[in-house]
Amino acid sequence: MTLAASSALPVSKKTLDTPCPAEAEVDSSSTAAEYIAEGCLTDGPLGRVGLELEAHCFDPADPYRRPRWEEITAILKQLPRLPGGSAVTVEPGGAVELSGPPEDGVVAAIAAMSDDQAVLRRVFADSGLGLVFLGSDPLRSPQRINPGSRYRAMEQFFAASDSGKAGAAMMTSTASVQVNLDAGPQAGWAARVRLAHALGPTMIAIAANSPMLGGEFSGWVSTRQWVWGQMDSARCGPILGVSGDDPGTDWARYALKAPVMLVNNPGTADCAPVTHWVPFADWADGLQLLGDRRPTVADLEYHLTTLFPPVRPRQWLEIRYLDSMPDDFWPAVVYTLVALLDDPEAAAIAAEAVEPVATAWDNAARLGLCDRRLYEAANRCVAVAAERAPAELTDAMERLVRYVEKGRCPGDDFADRVIDHGIAAEVARAAQLTQGGP
């Protein structure tokens, strides 16, 4: 079975060249592997960029309080159509996410997302709430407010696993910037996927913006990445195989080994958690039945949405390892990442620069740019990107270059202000800033 190229990135659904109904049964793990591998990436030119930004929702008057589901959804009902066309969703813990449609180039994607952010902030400010752009909630304990069946079942899945605490924090206390890029020509897929992974530690160190969790300094510059690192590696670890020469095979192998998290109840919007370890391959091969049945194509597609590697192939590439950042940083960080992947000369330089730290995920999250090798790689990468920056991003890139040269990341500014003013006061101030306050 082959998959047709999607007409939109990053929100389109896959469509089949030949009929394959969602209710069709998956008769074996080999059939599932073929389906996954052939739908992994789409052959085509580079150029389109889609962005997704998450922000924690706070009440500046009481930053310890988590706004209720009813409060947030009432605000969203007042939201006009956003100028850049972003969709708005609410994460399990009340974080608000903007998901932008694909744009032709990174500059257009940044401009559209900035416009949508401005409208979203104004509407929340009119209701007395603010949006705080940090990789982890620095103050409140994990708590799910989204009543959706998927998130309720996900919470139950994590509670029954060895990663219950990390799962709760991941769902309700972390926020990111996600960058979605075309897969590009098929001949370059392997190198492109390898570079997207290899850039991860260096980009995490540059973007680190989550030094606190639950009211305490964690000792990690990217606590968000630390939380994800505590999760089951079969679901959240990198997907690359030994060689990384065949992204489709790597993704199929990863997905089939990963345990099934949720099973949809046919004909309903409800899903149930799977609280014992069942790799999807075992379900497909009939070694274990879930819901008293074999999986369908719809079950396989849904399973893929419950896998959270740092780089996820969805016909395009979802790059998921950046902390949420404020406006002073995220456009420059996004531009840097896209330039290093989409510009051939920059990609070659970046691949050489990050090779010594290509797997240093933990060091990046814990030490950031205090790690000498990450510091060297980061400086080379931002310098290469800055050389290519358009006029619209010159100031932002110069600011990022200065920070990286000093070995600083976005979270250092937040940490300094917490030390000076206290955590609650700083969170309230950050929420007021997004309201247009002092």
Q: What is the distance between the alpha carbons of residues 227 and 219, in angstroms, rounded to a whole number?
A: 12
Checking if the pLDDT of 183 tops 80, the result is: yes
Q: What is the distance between the alpha carbons of residues 132 and 341, in angstroms, rounded to a whole number?
A: 28
Continuous segment of H or E residues that includes residue 177: strand 176-181
Neighbours of 217 (CB within 10 A): 14
Crossing angle of the two packed helices 372-387 and 330-342, in degrees rounded to 10: 80
pLDDT confidence of residue 3: 24
Domains along the sequence of the chain with CATH: 48-258+307-433 (3.30.590.20)
Q: Can you read off the two tokens belonging to residue 220?
A: 């990690």
What tens digit of pLDDT does each residue of 221-242 get? Answer: 999 999 999 998 999 999 987 6
Helices and strands of the chain, counted as H and E runs: 19, 12
Q: Kindly state the DSSP code that residue 27 receives in the 8-state scheme.
A: -
pLDDT confidence of residue 19: 47
Distances, alpha carbon 50 to alpha carbons 29, 85, 89, 191, in Å: 32, 11, 16, 21
Environment class of 390 (CB within 10 Å of its CB; exposed 0-12, middle 13-18, buried 19+)? exposed
Checking if the pLDDT of 147 tops 90, the result is: yes
Checking if the pLDDT of 4 tops 60, the result is: no
Cβ-contact 315, 5 below 8 angstroms? yes
Checking if the pLDDT of 218 tops 80, the result is: yes
For residue 10, whether the previous peptide bond is cis, meaning omega lies within 30 degrees of 0, is yes
Confidence of residue 389 (pLDDT cuts 50, 70, 90): very high
What tens digit of pLDDT does each residue of 269-284 get? Answer: 788 999 999 999 999 9
Selection from 352, 12, 14, 11 nearest residue 2 by Cα: 14
Neighbours of 155 (CB within 10 A): 20
Selection from 371, 376, 350 nearest residue 361 by Cα: 371
Q: What is the distance between the alpha carbons of residues 373 and 375, in angstroms, rounded to a whole number?
A: 5
What residues contact residue 158 under an 8 Å CB cut-off, 6+ apart?
164, 166, 167, 168, 171
pLDDT confidence of residue 12: 27
Q: Which residues of 189-198 are buried (b: 16+ CB within 10 A; e: fewer)?
A: bbebbbbbbb
Cβ-contact 116, 100 below 8 angstroms? yes
What SS3 class is residue 174? Answer: strand
What tens digit of pLDDT does each residue of 54-63 get? Answer: 999 999 999 9
Backbone angles phi, psi at 272, to 5 degrees: -120, 140
Q: What is the distance between the alpha carbons of residues 73 and 323, in angstroms, rounded to a whole number?
A: 24
pLDDT confidence of residue 436: 52
Environment class of 247 (CB within 10 Å of its CB; exposed 0-12, middle 13-18, buried 19+)? buried
What residues contact residue 76 under an 8 Å CB cut-off, 6+ apart?
88, 90, 96
Q: Can you read off the two tokens belonging to residue 147?
A: 């009543």
Q: Give me the amino acid identity at 90.
A: V
Checking if the pLDDT of 99 tops 60, the result is: yes
Task: Please give the radius of gyration of the chain, using alpha carbons only, rounded to the nearest integer.
Answer: 21
Cβ-contact 97, 54 below 8 angstroms? yes
Q: Is 145 left (phi over 0), alpha (psi -120 to 50) or beta?
A: alpha
